[in-house]
Amino acid sequence: MFNNLEIFRSAGAMARHAAQRQSVVAENIANADTPGYRTKDLTAFEVPADDLRNAMKSTRGTHFDPGSRTTAASIILGDQSGLSPNGNSVSLESEMFKSIEAERQHSRAMTIYKSSLDILRASLGRR
């Protein structure tokens, strides 16, 4: 664990993803009355490939480069059902749900980060 602190990076990526999603949801809610606005969402969170223990290693030049796999979340169009007459597809209920999900993901990431930090501190003999 201490050679390579990948858990911190994973937790950080998770928190960043949650923050990004929250930002997308805020945009949707602000535009809940804008004519022609289409609901947006973010792709699901994935642990960055090089943080995984069993990640592919390239030991020869001809090997597939594992770093080339992108794990950055991208913005996609959300559920487009329930289009209102002015062409707006935002549903406040499902946006609320998405924002709660983002908040829980964020607090989970923060908890993981904090408890890993506590373990690290304990191993240094500090409290």
Partner 1 sequence: MSDFSNSLQTAVSGMRAQSTRLRHVSENIANTDTPGYRRKIMNFEQVTKDGAKTGEVRSAGISLDRTELTRIFDPAHPMSNEDGYYDGSNVDLVVEIADAREAQRSYEANLKMFEQTRKMSSKLLELLRK
Residues that bind partner 1 (CB under 8 A): 15-16, 18-20, 22-23, 25-27, 29-35, 37, 92, 95-96, 99-100, 102-103, 106-107, 110, 113-114, 117
Residue 35 or residue 66: which is nearer to partner 1 going by CB? 35
Taking the C-alpha atoms of residue 19 and residue 106, their distance in angstroms, rounded to an integer, is: 7
Taking the C-alpha atoms of residue 27 and residue 15, their distance in angstroms, rounded to an integer, is: 19
Taking the C-alpha atoms of residue 52 and residue 2, their distance in angstroms, rounded to an integer, is: 15
Under a CB-based contact definition with an 8 Å cutoff, are residues 31 and 67 in contact?
A: no
Quick one: CA dihedral 50, 52, 53, 56, positive or negative?
negative
* Minimum CB–partner distance for residue 59 and partner 1 (Å): 37
φ/ψ bin of 115: left (φ > 0), alpha (ψ from -120 to 50), beta (otherwise): alpha
Residue 56 or residue 110: which is nearer to partner 1 going by CB? 110
* Minimum CB–partner distance for residue 52 and partner 1 (Å): 24
* Minimum CB–partner distance for residue 76 and partner 1 (Å): 15
Residue 89 or residue 102: which is nearer to partner 1 going by CB? 102
Under a CB-based contact definition with an 8 Å cutoff, are residues 32 and 96 in contact?
A: no
* Minimum CB–partner distance for residue 67 and partner 1 (Å): 24
Residue 27 or residue 46: which is nearer to partner 1 going by CB? 27
